[in-house]
Structure 1
Amino acid sequence: MTASVFIAGPASWNSIVVLDRLPEPVPHMQFAEESWETLGGTSAGKALSLTALGRPTVLYALTAADESGERVRGALDRAGVGTVWGDGDATERHLNLMTREGGRVSLYLASPSATDGADDAALVSAMREADVIVLDLAAEPLRLLPAAKSTGLPIWVDVHDYDGEADFHRPFLAAADAVFCNADHLDDPVAFLRSRIGAGASLAVCTLGARGAVAIDADGTEHRVAALPADIVDTNGAGDAFLAGVLDARLSGADVRSALTAGARTAAEVLGTRHLHPLLDAVIV
């Protein structure tokens, strides 16, 4: 039977604004080069890439009964992503200010609170049917951490631009069998990765943007992979696609170096679309 993935975390509706430079912290006016609305959310990005790779995947996310929630649910349904929806007190929404070079400022306009856990029995059942659990940074996945750990399944986490100190990330890191991050706020990414292996993780990976990615495996061996050439339209979702490619390859039996190469390939595929994944090109107009 093909190994499957359960993902818990954000799915959002985003407004993307492309600028010639990111705004300075002073009163001023800028003209947008381009703008559009699209599906967002780190968990939605991972689920889209895994679905495109043919990996059975269930995404659990919160949305509210509002227009943005309807757009989020409709886009993922039309893209063929398996979903379980929780009733949120808000649908997550972002305003992303972008540059052509990949600079980004993400403004969170709304974010759902954690639920009261009324549906946890069904969620734990869905987790147990999977082979790997992915938990992304948000209030609801944080609440679900003990339940995920109780399954005994491997837990993969993505702490994004973690600075090595933020308290919110620590429970995710403590539970993780595989840790992913980017190098934006880490002075020494390799030292951080080695610290996660020392803490019990079996794989730790840091994406380095145009410089590719670096990983430390359970034996302490360092692996590096170059980024693949791509015609960049939008960088949103590249890190999520990279994790999805690595996870899919590892579930198929690939070694770490081959899995990193698969991740680089999956990341390159999403850079050429202004949506989280090319699957959305036909379903969001």
Structure 2
Amino acid sequence: MLDRLELLVIGECVADIVRLPGAADQVHPGGSPANVAYGLAGLGHDATLLTQLGPDGNGRLIRDHLARAGVDVRTDGATAATPSAAVTLDGAGRATYTFEITWTLGPVALDRPPGHVHTGSIAAVTEPGAATVAAAVDSLRTAATVSYDPNVRPELMGDHEAAVRKVERCVALSDVVKASDEDLEWLYPGQEAGRVAERWLATGPAVVLVTRGADGALAVLPEGRVTVDALPVDVVDTVGAGDAFMSGTLHALAAHGLLGEAGRERLHTLDRATMTDVLRHAAASAAVTVSRAGANPPDGAELEAALGRM
């Protein structure tokens, strides 16, 4: 693994209020970028999260949750209520969301430059904070690799054409892009996910990853496609599965020395064997998460145990 690579995640925290039929509401710390930061810290990385948290109960819950994992939380000092999402689960554990969120992130000074920057989700497309995110990524990417996950939330995306343009701008700034097949279906209805990934790859990323739930995952590289099966598990819920996939991806890329300024050239010549190993780590990480309630990614020992079952 790269020695003490600084990983910066920029994006929202959300209190997930999980609603199950016949049961009391349960509040879980969430937000896609926050989940990625938590997953990275749990896997032993130096992870900083640049975000917004309100001075309320949900904000304290999330801050404490992240701190226990070792995430360095930085905020812009905004005092708006912590964003929340009502998460309704169906009989198969699939989640649908109803949001109460604002995103007004302002500039925040960093103590040290990161080696890798991850962003995405609501934070990358919701103004006025999205402009701050874009400016930060643009300024940091000269010395850091960048990853992006659109994590599409249709009810928050606004005008469809404008949303697609914003997503495509983020894709073009990134070295690693991950999207679900559902994300791509919303962005480009009726288009085959692999073809979309190939089109995105041509705009600049080293690799585009597509998650496909129980059907596994796909990576598109300049030399072709690589696939991995999902690890069979009893699904409790799918909350945070894509985020665990993302943190597992970054963990494996770092282990192969493919993140940071020193790793960028090798990242952009990624071979199929290495990509297969990265996908295995990502899929195993997601499998652990869906096997238990909430966005609860694995630590290193749990990830290794899951890999042993693949």
User: CA separation in 1, counterparts of 2:136 and 2:37?
Assistant: 21
- Superposed CA deviations along residues 70-92 of structure 1, whole A, max 9, x for unmatched, are 22112212233222123233311
Of 117, 121, 138 in structure 2, the residue corresponding to residue 149 of structure 1 is 138
1:71-86 to structure 2, matched below 5 A, reads 71-86=61-76
Alignment of 1:17 with 2:27, yes or no, is no
Number of residue-to-residue matches in the alignment: 260
The alpha-carbon deviation at position 183 of structure 1 amounts to 0.5
Partner SS, residue 176 of structure 1: coil
Partner SS, residue 284 of structure 2: helix
Partner SS, residue 25 of structure 2: strand
- Contact conserved, 1:42 with 1:237, CA < 8 A, in 2? yes
> Would the alpha carbon gap of residues 162 and 41 (structure 1) be closer, same or farther in structure 2, given more than 3 Å must change?
closer
Of 5, 8, 31 in structure 1, the residue corresponding to residue 7 of structure 2 is 5
1:92-111 to structure 2, matched below 5 A, reads 92-111=83-102
- Contact conserved, 2:120 with 2:151, CA < 8 A, in 1? no
- Residue matched to 1:182: 180
- Residue matched to 2:305: none
The alpha-carbon deviation at position 268 of structure 1 amounts to 1.1
- Contact conserved, 1:58 with 1:82, CA < 8 A, in 2? yes
The alpha-carbon deviation at position 60 of structure 1 amounts to 1.3
Higher helix share: 2
Alignment of 1:245 with 2:248, yes or no, is yes
User: CA separation in 1, counterparts of 2:209 and 2:58?
Assistant: 33
> Would the alpha carbon gap of residues 38 and 136 (structure 1) be closer, same or farther in structure 2, given more than 3 Å must change?
same
Given the two structures, how large is their TM-score scaled by the length of structure 1? 0.84
* Percent identity for Structure 1 against Structure 2: 23
- Superposed CA deviations along residues 87-108 of structure 1, whole A, max 9, x for unmatched, are 2333111101111314322111
Alignment of 1:211 with 2:215, yes or no, is yes
The alpha-carbon deviation at position 278 of structure 1 amounts to 5.6
- Contact conserved, 2:76 with 2:105, CA < 8 A, in 1? no
Of 38, 42, 63 in structure 2, the residue corresponding to residue 48 of structure 1 is 38
Partner SS, residue 63 of structure 1: coil
User: CA separation in 1, counterparts of 2:233 and 2:102?
Assistant: 32
1:214-229 to structure 2, matched below 5 A, reads 214-217=218-221, 219-229=222-232
Given the two structures, how large is their TM-score scaled by the length of structure 2? 0.77
- Contact conserved, 2:43 with 2:298, CA < 8 A, in 1? no
Question: What 5-or-longer segments of structure 2 have no aligned partner?
Answer: 155-159, 186-190, 258-273, 300-310
User: CA separation in 2, counterparts of 1:83 and 1:279?
Assistant: 20
Alignment of 1:198 with 2:241, yes or no, is no
> Would the alpha carbon gap of residues 159 and 220 (structure 1) be closer, same or farther in structure 2, given more than 3 Å must change?
farther
Higher strand share: 1
